[in-house]
Structure 1
């Protein structure tokens, strides 16, 4: 019942006639959504529902939101004009094959451009990302639960239900993001052993990357561009300067070799504020990148510094239309300002 009430309230508050009254709050910003996997019955892959995505795109269109390619968002951030006009942009991270096969047709149906950020060693067949291997081990666990020592604490992971397995994946991935590469690999091996799972040498169905030929075909068909997400998906702040150059520029080199018009916007691996810094921003600026996106919640806002273009926030796409619509409307900004005013008045 609460969900239905919220849905009705958000749809009413975000209606164009009401939203126009609050347009000064949103005129110079855009909302960027971040997606990963798509639900795929063929492989049993959980993820975003194509039907729910279509419902959201239709709703955004009815509420008057323009769909902008990410390249145009960054052009307007750099130029300061024209106003972003509360537009919406979409991105997909990593480069799994379901993103083109399942997700891209939905975006094209609504004339909505999308950017796919590629882990280039994954697409090259050189590696299977560590986080995907952990996901595979938990999803295919032969045991009802396991225990792990991570980050100085003991994790007890019941695995009887799909939801428990998803929670276990989230907890272990969160711990691994603050480890160096060798330690992460040790965790991957330990999780697989304790789960009673033998990891395949290469990604099986449901975990396979798209291919360069598929990327070229999608690029030629329009509505999609590809950007760099690093070579190996390692956290940049934990790497040496030479390693960071290899991750960013090596990934970009593969894109420029394989594709006609890759997008010079970096997507930081894992994307938390502590996962990158001024070193990475300076490297990107020195190599003529237009900017970079993070995984921290936030808007693309005009009027900021040139440095701000190298840490543009994104929202993880919510599972329901009402929450997504709230991010795109003035409601979230108004709520934040009211909370800030309340905080200042109580201090």
Structure 2
């Protein structure tokens, strides 16, 4: 991992902020940061950095304006309710702006992103041995210990990220249909989605801005142009209808370099978007393209908070 230049602008990427402590494999990747840790980090931003909105940062980089040292913007991806419950009050307390990128098809639903669904299935199955036999890949896994379960999840995720959504959904359904599960799957704050009322409340706060993250969290570069356009424009239209104002910031699902391309950027520009940050690790400097901005996914797989 490259050494970050904290004198350049940094965009922090969070997904969830949890109030719970987990002892099993739930949240093993650190996608949801604990609210006490989040509070410490936002306190540091407010006292030792120059926190700005993503919109302010995008405009400054576009105009190639000089930025103060430790300029930072906070962003969230996906649709987790714990952002509303745990993150927003902390951000408001420290007067730190943030932009939330929302998968609109998950709002007001119990839908779970496929990668989280895989985690739930492996965490809650009573099986000790499972077989993954798809896509010309066949392997028997022993999943007695947490270490074994995490290894299996990571390996299967890496396989399924390379296939289209329909194929992946069919594989997930077939793979887990024979599992025997605990009588009661423990509900946590990791998978509950935001409601429209919560999003409207977030949107009314001057510190916060909301943008789309597609409708269904589909990897845009894996779709044909028409499907990609439906995901992008559809999510923009839904947010504009529900929130009652123009939307022009976007973020790519998954967000690595292979997950978007110039065709996707053209669709964004044609539909009035001014920026779409990636999830590629790094910092940003004046003149960088607003459609190739890098972010730091704090806590995920041990990625450290860049300030002290």
TM-score band, normalised by shorter chain = 0.7 to 0.9
CA–CA separation in structure 2 for the residues paired with 1:220 and 1:292:
22
Cα RMSD of the aligned pairs, angstroms, is 3.1
Give 3-state SS (helix, strand or coil) of 1:257's partner. Answer: helix
CA–CA separation in structure 2 for the residues paired with 1:38 and 1:191:
30
Matched, 1:48 2:33: yes
Distance 1:230 1:314, change over 3 A: same
CA–CA separation in structure 1 for the residues paired with 2:142 and 2:213:
32
Larger Rg: 1
Matched, 1:33 2:8: no
The one of 131, 139, 148 equivalent to 2:132 is 148
Structure 1 partner of 2:149 = 165
CA–CA separation in structure 1 for the residues paired with 2:10 and 2:129:
39
Matched, 1:221 2:205: yes
1:250-300 Cα offsets, whole Å, 9 max, x none, are 011111111145652211111111111000111111222111111111222
CA–CA separation in structure 2 for the residues paired with 1:143 and 1:242:
41
Mapped contact 2:33–2:299 kept (Cα < 8 A): no
Matched ranges for 1:111-150 at <5 A = 111-123=95-107, 125=109, 127-149=111-133
The Cα shift of 1:166 comes to 3.8
Give 3-state SS (helix, strand or coil) of 1:225's partner. Answer: strand
The one of 261, 278, 292 equivalent to 1:311 is 292
Give 3-state SS (helix, strand or coil) of 1:291's partner. Answer: coil
TM-score, normalised relative to structure 1: 0.75
How many residue pairs are counted as aligned between the two chains?
296
Which runs of no fewer than 5 residues in structure 1 stay unpaired?
A: 1-13, 15-24, 330-347
The Cα shift of 1:125 comes to 3.2
Give 3-state SS (helix, strand or coil) of 1:267's partner. Answer: coil
Which runs of no fewer than 5 residues in structure 2 stay unpaired?
A: none
Structure 2 partner of 1:79 = 63
Q: Which has the higher helix share?
A: 1
CA–CA separation in structure 2 for the residues paired with 1:197 and 1:322:
32
Matched, 1:232 2:227: no
Matched, 1:323 2:304: yes
CA–CA separation in structure 1 for the residues paired with 2:259 and 2:35:
31
Q: Which piece of structure 1 moves more, 102-111 or 240-249?
A: 102-111
Matched ranges for 1:1-347 at <5 A = 27=7, 29-41=8-20, 46=27, 47-62=32-47, 64-83=48-67, 85-123=69-107, 125=109, 127-149=111-133, 152-197=136-181, 206-261=190-245, 263-304=247-288, 308-318=289-299, 323-325=304-306, 328=307
TM-score, normalised relative to structure 2: 0.84
CA–CA separation in structure 2 for the residues paired with 1:43 and 1:258:
35
